[in-house]
């Protein structure tokens, strides 16, 4: 079992890199520059790539954030796009394994699988190409040449839940998930806890699209929620969430006061021109891909480890544009809860069972 869990402790004020307490450790016993051992690779020799999930690199969410981190890393280290850093896009799940294999055959030193749905394929390909280093986002893969990158999504979701709970005019809010899973449950339960912490009279409508890449399903589910009285919807649905924005903008054009809470990156612009983005739960996948790439290039690939990003690492949080529509007094409450979560005085629930325990503690 994988038992070396490390938490990155602080974010640098400038750039995307984080200071970290990760120990320098090679991810594989094989010799060669590709495995990140010894003194590391020169920037000009280092090659890093990622495989998107089906949402695509321009999903305005999870994949896009990961690519932004790799792009900044490449530019900061004078790497050439496609030669030194690149992505392969997956149009369907069957593309994951061949895309990963192609990058391994092309001798990329570090290869990312973006999203928990790629876990089985990462496990397989990492076994086939033991000289390459791999990283997976949002899942744990037990292999010495795989770094597992996770986030405390429940903490950031708790904060946007506080905003929703304090700002709803109808005492009804919604949550739309992509594929129901342990990962997306962290978004759901953290959000629900934040809402209920400040507004115990609120009703929370929860639905799953069972798809991360269907804007049509997002629109349909959002239509039902808004129609039933929810005035704020938080989505954790990737490309499906685009449809939530579409529905909100259409309703705003007709004079309805409805809002969307974005996810993964600041989705303020997604709500324009009707201006329907209330806030976003920012998940710094860009920080993660930048930092793990930097460590690997320097010879410190965290193979076989779980790297976790939370509030105290600036790995999750709320968007900088939140003050556009969220009043100062509400943001002050958010700051209070943020500090409680960082200090350990409060724990955001990640599972259904933890949410039930949380509700018992606040009743």
Domain boundaries, the chain: 4-151+285-313, 153-282+327-362
Prediction pTM value? 0.83
Share of the chain above pLDDT 90, in %: 82
- Cα–Cα distance between 79 and 277 in angstroms, integer? 35
Let me know if 218 is exposed, middle or buried by CB neighbors in 10 A (0-12, 13-18, 19+). buried
Topology (CATH) of 153-282+327-362 = Rossmann fold (3.40.50)
Please report which helix (H) or strand (E) contains residue 190, including its range.
helix 182-198
Taking the CA atoms of 296, 302, 308 and 311 in sequence, report the sign of the dihedral they define: negative
| pLDDT at 363 > cutoff 60 | yes
pLDDT band at 362 (very low <50, low <70, confident <90, very high): confident
Which candidate, 302, 263, 299, 308, places its Cα nearest to that of 64? 263
Mean pLDDT to the nearest integer, 183-201? 98
Interval 234-256: pLDDT, tens? 999 988 999 999 999 999 999 99
Contact 236, 261 (CB under 8 A): no
DSSP-derived letter for residue 205 is: E
Interval 148-174: pLDDT, tens? 999 999 999 999 999 999 999 999 999
For 113, what's the count of Cα atoms within 13 Å in the CB-facing half-sphere?
33
| pLDDT at 98 > cutoff 80 | yes
- Cα–Cα distance between 337 and 317 in angstroms, integer? 12
Helix (H, G, I), strand (E, B) or coil at 253: helix
pLDDT at 33: 37
pLDDT band at 125 (very low <50, low <70, confident <90, very high): very high
Residues 4-151+285-313, CATH architecture: 3-Layer(aba) Sandwich (3.40)
pLDDT band at 42 (very low <50, low <70, confident <90, very high): low
Taking the CA atoms of 108, 114, 116 and 121 in sequence, report the sign of the dihedral they define: negative
Question: What do you get for the CA distance between the two ends of the chain, in Å?
Answer: 38
pLDDT at 299: 96
What value, to the nearest 5°, has the Cα angle with vertex 27 and ends 21 and 30? Answer: 150
Bridge partners (DSSP) of residue 259 are: 232
pLDDT at 108: 97
């Amino acid at each position: 079992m994988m038992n070396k869990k490390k938490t990155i402790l602080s974010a640098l004020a400038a750039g995307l890199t984080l200071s970290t307490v990760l120990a320098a450790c090679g991810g594989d016993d094989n010799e060669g520059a590709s495995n990140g051992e010894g003194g590391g690779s020169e920037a000009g020799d280092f090659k890093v790539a990622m495989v998107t999930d089906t949402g695509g690199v321009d999903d305005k969410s999870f994949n896009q954030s990961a690519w932004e981190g790799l792009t900044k890393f490449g530019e900061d280290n004078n790497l050439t796009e496609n030669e030194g850093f690149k992505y392969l896009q997956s149009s369907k799940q069957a593309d994951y394994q061949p895309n990963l294999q192609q990058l391994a055959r092309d001798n990329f030193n570090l290869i990312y699988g973006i999203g928990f749905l790629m876990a089985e394929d990462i496990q397989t390909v990492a076994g086939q190409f033991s000289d390459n280093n791999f990283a997976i986002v949002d899942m744990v893969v037990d292999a010495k040449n795989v770094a597992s990158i996770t986030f405390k999504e429940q903490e950031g979701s708790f904060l946007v839940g506080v905003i929703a709970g304090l700002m709803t005019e109808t005492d009804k809010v919604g949550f739309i998930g992509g594929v129901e899973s342990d990962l997306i449950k962290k978004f759901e339960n953290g959000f629900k806890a934040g809402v209920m912490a400040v507004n115990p009279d609120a009703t929370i409508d929860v639905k799953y699209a069972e798809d991360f890449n269907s804007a049509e399903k997002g629109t349909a589910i959002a239509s039902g929620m808004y129609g039933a009285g929810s005035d704020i919807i938080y989505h954790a649905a990737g490309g499906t969430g685009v449809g939530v924005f579409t529905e909100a903008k259409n309703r705003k054009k007709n004079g309805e006061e409805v809002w969307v809470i974005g996810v993964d990156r600041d989705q303020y612009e997604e709500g324009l021109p009707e201006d329907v983005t209330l806030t976003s739960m920012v998940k710094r996948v860009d920080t993660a891909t930048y930092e793990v790439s930097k460590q690997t290039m320097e010879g410190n690939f965290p193979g076989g480890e779980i790297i976790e990003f939370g509030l105290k690492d600036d790995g999750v949080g709320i968007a900088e544009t939140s003050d556009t529509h969220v009043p100062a007094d509400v943001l002050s409450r958010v700051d209070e809860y943020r500090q409680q979560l960082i200090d350990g005085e409060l724990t955001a629930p990640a599972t259904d069972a933890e949410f039930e325990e949380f509700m018992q503690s606040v009743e």
